[in-house]
Amino acid sequence: MARTQVVYERSHGLKDVETHYCPGCHHGIIHKLIAEVLVEMDLLDKAVGISPVGCAVLAGDYLNCDFVEAAHGRAPAVATGVKRTHPDLLVFTYQGDGDLASIGAGEIVHATARGEQFTTIFINNAIYGMTGGQMAPTTLLGQKSTTSQSGREAARHGMPLRMSEMLSTQDGMAYCERVCVADMPNLHKAKKAIKKAFTLQMQGVGHTFVEFLSTCPTNWGMTPVDAGKWVKSDMNRYYPLGVFKDLTAKKEAAEE
């Protein structure tokens, strides 16, 4: 007698459609992790995602839950409107580095300061993808882009923003972790981080924030595999992976 077990198949947290993302783009992987977590937590019926302006503007066509498209940078405000009027929903934003760290810098600071009870998924690939490769607030020093053609210079362009570190200084931030999906161990950690963030949201702990160091093979001018390596070799040096805030950890420590 033979028993066949599925080790992995396409999650039904994703719609059965092709994505427009470039080959090897980490959006596809991260969408999948969110989809898997929503299925495992049985939240597909109660989830509302807020999509950005950026490559992931079409995320609502890919994830199998409700979505609201937000104006550029304003996802934290849109999420505030959704979650405050519908506190039972699982609300998450999905923003790129232009959306969150440039035009939306004000909104994310205030949403985290207010401890808004939604989850931010921040996709940091250090460049503007959709519009063709311009410099992002998170572009690294020396990194070339179409608007920093000889490479980012501190004097001319300022230094890159470390959003997880900055936002974690606020009391309203309950849980903040920086992760990546550049290899399998990190992919598993990243999925756990999403699950923790969503779990804490349903417990009403405060704002939860997961920053993904992510790739843009097309605009970095690298193969997808090399792009994943660059996340670990270069991005990771300026943006360390790890937990920057965890109010529940303090609580657990206090209880021991």
Q: Does 195 bind other proteins (CB under 8 A)?
A: no
Spatial contact of 13 and 39, defined as CB atoms under 8 Å apart: yes
Q: Does 27 bind other proteins (CB under 8 A)?
A: yes
Q: Does 159 bind other proteins (CB under 8 A)?
A: no
Question: What CA–CA distance (Å, rounded) separates 133 from 146?
Answer: 6
Q: Does 19 bind other proteins (CB under 8 A)?
A: yes
CA angle in degrees (0–180, nearest 5) for 114-119-124: 105
Contact letters for other proteins, residues 74-103 (x by CB under 8 A): x-xxxxxxx-xxx--x--------------
Question: What CA–CA distance (Å, rounded) separates 195 from 143?
Answer: 33
Q: Does 194 bind other proteins (CB under 8 A)?
A: no
Of the candidates 34, 26, 11, the one whose C-alpha atom is nearest the C-alpha of residue 119 is 34
Instruction: By CB under 8 A, name the one of 34, 37, 56, 57 that touches other proteins.
Output: 57
Question: What CA–CA distance (Å, rounded) separates 84 from 79?
Answer: 8
Nearer Cβ to other proteins (176/227) = 227
Question: What CA–CA distance (Å, rounded) separates 190 from 205?
Answer: 20
190: left (phi over 0), alpha (psi -120 to 50) or beta: alpha
165, with CB counted inside 10 A (0-12, 13-18, 19+), is middle
Beta strands in 102-215 (DSSP E): 119-124, 173-180, 207-213
Interaction residues for other proteins, span 196-215 (CB under 8 A): none
Q: Does 42 bind other proteins (CB under 8 A)?
A: no
The DSSP letter of residue 234 is I
User: Binding segment for other proteins among 9-17, 144-152, 204-212, 247-255 (CB under 8 A)?
Assistant: 9-17
Angle formed by the axes of helices 75-85 and 105-113, nearest 10°: 30
- How many residues in the shown chain lie near other proteins by CB under 8 A? 70
Nearer Cβ to other proteins (89/100) = 89
Q: Does 8 bind other proteins (CB under 8 A)?
A: yes
Task: Give the nearest distance from C-beta 175 to other proteins in angstroms.
Answer: 22
Look up residue 178 and give its two tokens: 């920086």
Task: Give the nearest distance from C-beta 160 to other proteins in angstroms.
Answer: 23
Nearer Cβ to other proteins (135/213) = 213
User: Binding segment for other proteins among 68-76, 144-152, 198-206, 236-244 (CB under 8 A)?
Assistant: 68-76
Nearer Cβ to other proteins (69/234) = 69
Question: What CA–CA distance (Å, rounded) separates 88 from 204?
Answer: 10
Which stretches of the chain bind other proteins, using CB under 8 A?
1-11, 14-15, 18-19, 21-29, 32, 44-48, 50-51, 57-58, 60-61, 64-71, 74, 76-82, 84-86, 89, 106-107, 109-110, 114, 181, 183-184, 187, 217, 223-225, 228
